[in-house]
Structure 1
Amino acid sequence: MRFGKTLSDSVYPPWKDKYLEYDKIKKLLREDETSPQGRGGEANWTEQDEETFVHELTVTQLEKVNQHQVDTFSSIRDRAAACESELPDPEKEDTGKSEDEWKDVARDMLKELDGISKDLNELRKFSRVNYTGFLKAAKKHDRKRGLKYHVRPILQVRLAQTPFNSEDYAPLLYRLSAMYTWARQKLGEESANKETDTDIKPKDTYTAHKYWVHADNLLEVKTYLLRRLPVLVYNPQDVKVVDSSQKDPSLTSIYFDNHSFDLYQSKVEKTEAGLSVRLRWTGHLTDKPEIVLEKKFVGENEESNDIRIQIKEKYINSFLKGEYKMEKQIQKLEDRLGPDHDEVKNLKANVDEIQSFIKDKQLEPVLRASYTRTAFQIPGDDRIRVSLDTDLTFIREDALDPDRPCRDPDDWHRSDIDKNEMDYPYSAIKKGEISRFPHAILEIKVKDTKYTRNNAWLHDLMNSHLVKEEKRFSKFVHGVAELFEDYVNSFPFWLSDLETDIRRDPVTAYQEEQEREQKKAEDEMAVGSFLAGSKLSSPRHKVGSPGKYSERRLSGQISQSVQSRSRLRDSQLQSTAEEPDSDDDGVQGTEQVDVRDSSQGGIRSFLPAFSNSRYARRHRQRNAWDNAPLPPGVKEPSFWIKDQGDLKVEAKVWLANQRTFIKWQHVAILLATLSLSLYNAAGVNNNIARIISVVYTVFAIFAAVWGWGIYMWRSKLITERSGKDFDAVIGPFVVSIGLAVALVLNFAFKYRAAVADNREDNSTALFMGQGQMNNGLWVQEL
């Protein structure tokens, strides 16, 4: 179907005058003339014709479409705000309306929300079809007048300046969902306590964040990640063997679709559940790697369901034709587990489902995506999984043109690439059959936990100038849009960003982050405090701000994960839960391993150098990271970008430091007073008391000097905005142990002196008794 027909079929009647006038554009382009290589087509095209065409396309038509987008979305937001104003105020017990009146309000609200939802859906279709129309018109122009003029770069810049295609509808959708829920609950269609009545526990869910990374920022992003997460080493022979020379794996995926590109359309337009089929392997095909055939289903609730089977290369052709149904694998599994085992039944069901789906949709290989992956993850801890894909290349793998097929129609892959073991940049591939992506793809998968919702370094990276967010980016969609643009009539929105420089100024990036946070807060507060304590939204849709706590929460888990590294099994290579519409599976982590050390306790808990407590492990791990050698070619920065702004420290931080200093001086004064009193009361002959008083004086001086030194050291850390710990355990340890020893010695000396005095008194009494006895005997003798 030609795009002109597609555009006319997509027109929403109330907005028919607001769409791109595609026929007018084609008339200005004089599409009926001969091609520039013909007899006079290019000679009749003047500078004035070019200026008229460019102005009409990039100014008149684009501003008309963009203005309608802005006005309509603003009107929809106002209508949503008007509905929100009808919600009851939970702080007021007496709302002034009866229950029947509130039900009438709920019915009217549902009708208005239905209208808002319909207009919002039509607005999304309006944006997409017009966006595709602008790109199609630019392509027609460059193909016809490309010998002298190119309009697509100008159009890309103008699309970036008038971003009618990049509106984020998610905040408004959440608000509409909350109002829908209130109205249904008020009308009795939905129970307010529905969630509390079920015993089903939600499974672990991941939220995926996708970003583009410019080549100039690639090394900085890698080093930033290396300081927080270790590289997940991939070793195809044995995951227990860590090979430091092992290179990052090269992954290859071959995507399937039919001649109408139905799977592509379902992903771009989101008209139905997204489906995709692909073959995936690691390394060169000549190395006989494990090949995985995967079918992915993405439902309306954005949850994905994957079906995967491992298949050998020699069976792929017969499997795709339906001639082979994995009989050998199934038989081996039956012999090992029995024919009635659940694993055997699941394998049979998966084989039948994938084969029937390929047959019903008439799918065949159309696109190859090849890239090099670097994975970052703490072994045994899958709460944060980061992958960085570089050298991303898309290659046509189709046989759509029977006269010049890119692939042998009787084979499932291009033999010229795999037999010759071609690597990036695939210089032997023809220009029209390959597209090299200019940026790296950073994907961060975060499990919804308290730890990940309050993670400072993750929040800083995701909002920094080093990355550019592309929420809906898909390798399959991008490859088809780049290499099969003549076969499809809908394009993803991110194509316009490829012609622009994605690098940003750090100050500008920070200001944009603050604006986003403010807008997000306004959207969350728009419904009012009515929703403050309700359970209307699922926890998996909530994105917390990771900036509340410092990054020190992360390092406390590293040493524990390092201990579990040797216990990882082969299941580390199996994939875990993925985000919707993910096109990049690779080496994934296992479930979190719980490692406990029974040697904790006793004096070890007081000595960080020997303790296995979380506090001690955190200190040791931080020291290990600080002293770790940097990668080759990387220099330690002389300053941090985060430290270049104005110094803003809360008053309570300074006051806390001063309060600690005053406490130390208080301790010093008390010890000095005690020592002086003891010295004066001891007298000249009491040497023990005089010595103890001198010891107390030494500790008093140490406490005063230590308090002052720590106060100055912490003030320096605060001024430098250092991320180091402020803990200082040596001073309290020395003073406490020293005073305890002094008291014990004092008691021992006094006890020994008392025993000596007692013995002396007994000896004197005995001597006097014997003298009296001798005197009595002498008197008697006389």
Structure 2
Amino acid sequence: MKYGSELQDNVFAPWRLSYIAYDVLKMELKTRQLDHQWNDADEADFVELLHNELNKVYDFVTAKLREVEARITYCERTIGTFQKNPTMSSEANWGIMDDALTEVLFDVNDLAKFTRVNYIGFQKILKKHDKWTNRSLQHSFVEALRSKPLDKQRFDVAIVYISSLHDLCRLRGQPRNGNSAAGGDQNAFERATSKYWIHPDNVTEVKAIIMLHLPVLVFNQNKKYEESDSAISSVYYDNYDFDLYTGRLQRDEGAEAIRFRWYGPYESPNIFIERKTHHAEWLNGASVKDRFPLKEDKVNSYVAGEYTPEQIVEQMRAKGTADEDTINSVNFISTGIQTSFKEKNLTPICRIFYNRTAFQLPGDQKLRISLDSDMTYIREDDLDGVKRRDNNNWRRTDAHIDYPFSHLPKKDVYRFPYAVLETKLQTHLGQEPPQWLTTLLDSHLVHEVPRFSKYLHGASFFYGERLPLLPWWLSEMNTDIRKPRSMNAGLSRSKSFKPLIDGQYRHAMEEEERRMERQERTAKSVAASDGSSLAGSTVHSQIAGPPSITIQPAGNVDASKAKSSKKAKSGGDNLSSTYSPSIGNNEKGVMYRGGAVSPIEIEPVGEAVAIDIVEEDGNGKDKGPVKRRVKVKVEPKVFFANERTFISWLQFCALLLTVALNLLNFGDFVSRISGALFICIAGVMSIYALYRFERRAWMINRQHTGRYDDIWGPAVLCVFLVAALIVNFYLRFR
């Protein structure tokens, strides 16, 4: 799609006159080019037009930001009045303030999209100018764009304040219980992590959606939030054989990732020494991340082995601020990391910078979501003979947190084009993803990238020629991760420009959340009251959070027991939800909905799962099985397996063709007949193999429910070969 058409599709109608006049600028370029040769006067006029458009757009953004700040301040004062005066703290007033904050949030989202669309518009028109006129305006116009930047996401502070006020409205003015600083305690706990890429067009929208359900986690509530508070910098260590990289990529037992991390400004006094271990032996094979803090002036001596774990522990005991368990943990971690430095000869390799927005209930680590934007990779090594660190310092001193690091050499900087979303669930505690999160992750706004690693990606970009293996997701960088917009997911507006959340008004969304909460409470009460009846069955999980699905082998199910269980539960709500079942070892099973309400037969077929759900009518009679299908994400290795099968068939055909050519070229009359037969067989089987390859690829893409194995191919090939051999023997012995 041409950018002019794309711009028209993304225009927010009330702000139409404030967008860049892209068509006018393009027409100015074209008409002057057709009329005469582009000259200095044309260049001056065009530059003046560009400055006028830039001033118009930038002034509009600045004015809107001031308006947003004023509206946030008004809401903050009004909420403070509600808290001080209980007589004004009514449900209606809190609802009015929630509506006002939602409208502000939508304006922030629209403003973020407005800023990005216009920034891309200026880049496109500058590129088109240089191409048509053979002049270099892109470089000379850089200073103007830097003085009035449109390329930075400048809305995080507004989102944080809106999140705080929205949370107060949700709790009707009561402060959130829990320690916000506890969210930073990431020492040795398990969690299941999923990772996604987000296109820059969708970053602010995703933040806004999450903020409506989870508050932004602010570690220090005692200071005013600033943009630098979201900055995170990490220096990753490895050796020049990239042993840590290879171990992490291959997911070897005990593979480590070691990094030194600090939060906020470059001058941060506390550095966190962190280690990620895959299947740690000391935790019975569980993967874990552990860390301990260290003063910045002690880091170099710790890396050199001069500042020992014993000295760290002695200082902690002398201060008396930590208990004995914490001291022992720090001793264990610091000793293990320092041992890795000595044995593996580790050195700084790569620095990763990004701005993080974290969403989490204070003090509750069951669900944590983080969104990292402005991700930038910076080289720290001296593999190419360039000295980047002074006096063997543990990090380079010429790179702080001044994104986009334009002052650094281009070969030392790589700006990742997407934001990274991570969802972290403590699944070992029974935590299930809420329905709103499932809707978001299934929407057009995110692109799933399983096992994505920031360090692996950066190392593969800078040192790819030195690495024996590369991560699978590099091929995804060549594709556009944007998807067609779904009106039932994300933030949108009605024809009257009223805010819509997942295609619903906010009140409808809140009513849906309250309904889900009621269902959850009902399910928990049913599970508690019928615990004795469930104790004798083989149910493996309980309802926690949204209605979940429990799977048990079909062979263990007794039909009469299932029916009696169904009748016993008929007094409860018949829960319905969107299910995401997980089938272990592709076994046929029975699923129970909402605490064993109705049995669901599951039969895995190919890469999809076909489900027969037994539903009841109003009289309690079965209406019969209803076919449902649950789509399962197809991994790339499935396509590669299909390709390997095709190549194996081609290898056999090539071998058969080699035999046939030898018989034709160097044999007698009988040999030439046999050779001709083998050539025919090789040709037929090659065409058949191609047909099967294309057929399987089509089935995989559409998650077809047919058979994936080849029933007739091998048998027919054997028959052809035996027939050719019989003909050969007959002709030879005749």
Is TM-score (shorter-chain normalized) higher than 0.5? Answer: no
Q: TM-score, structure 1 length as denominator?
A: 0.37
> RCO (CA 8 Å, sep 6+): is it higher in 1 or 2?
1
Higher strand share: 2
Q: TM-score, structure 2 length as denominator?
A: 0.40
- Bigger radius of gyration, 1 or 2? 1
